[in-house]
Structure 1
Amino acid sequence: MTQAKFNTSTMPEFDMAQQLRDEADIVEYLRQVLADGDGAELAAALGHIAKARGMTEIANASGIRREALYKALRPHSQPRFETIQRVCKALGVQLTVEQSQ
């Protein structure tokens, strides 16, 4: 029996923004990212959500230039907390604090 070869270079690139179809998807995605505790991943996740919603719209709502928003929310970036707050507000989400269990 011979195995068929699978060429991964012909597969489309995964785009997280395409998976965020509704508010429940967005909320669950943010919960998982926050549970991991990686600040750079949070910035990237907000970038995926902004892309899913429309980067220009989020840029306008947050008062941050679109180019600066792309730069701040790329993977491995370290945006200022003020930027995170403004983007969250524009997205209609808020980060909350709970006591650890």
Structure 2
Amino acid sequence: MNRTKSHDESVIEMIRQDPEFAVEYLRIAFEELDADGGQASFLTALRHVVEARGGMAEIAEKAGLSRESLYRALSPKGNPTLRTMRQVVHATGMTFASLT
């Protein structure tokens, strides 16, 4: 029997296949950051991009963070510093400027 992909797996696959989609996906989440639930949505979107661009261990290393710190920062209740978010965004090959 074929296993159905989860929503998260489908989004991650779309990000892997289309770099422009990755930027647009994160840009929309960034624009909605101030809305109710916006922070959790942005962290979910960033987590999807991280998974698509090499995974937690690889991006954590590129960002100069421990894997555990990255998991904690991008968890649904995470509260990463601006510095951490900047490091992670840069480690995925993007910049905050590309999200505006």
TM above 0.5, yes or no, is: yes
Higher gyration radius (CA) = 1
**Aligned pair in 2 of structure 1 residues 68, 11: CA closer, same or farther (>3 Å)?**
same
1:70, CA displacement in angstroms? Answer: 1.3
1:17 aligns with 2:30: no
1:27 aligns with 2:32: no
CA distance in 2, matches of 1:11, 1:24: 25
Partner of 2:83 in structure 1?
A: 82
Task: Identify which of structures 1 and 2 has the higher relative contact order when contacts are C-alpha pairs closer than 8 Å and 6+ apart.
Answer: 2
Query: Once superposed, which parts of structure 1, at least 4 consecutive aligned residues long, lie more than 4 Å away?
Result: none
Q: Which runs of 5 or more residues in structure 1 are unaligned?
A: 1-9
* Contact 1:41-1:76 within 8 A present in 2 as well: no
Partner of 1:51 in structure 2?
A: 51
Taking only the aligned residue pairs, the percentage that are identical comes to: 35
Could you say what secondary structure the match of 2:7 adopts?
coil
Cα RMSD after superposing both structures = 2.0
TM-score under structure 1 length normalisation: 0.74
Q: Which runs of 5 or more residues in structure 2 are unaligned?
A: none
Give, as a single letter, the amino acid of the residue that structure 2 aligns with 1:14.
H
> Would you say how many aligned residue pairs link Structure 1 and Structure 2?
89
**Cα deviation code 1:19-41 (max 9, x no counterpart):** 21231011110111112122332
Structure having the higher helix fraction is 2
Give, as a single letter, the amino acid of the residue that structure 1 aligns with 2:63.
S
CA distance in 2, matches of 1:90, 1:11: 30
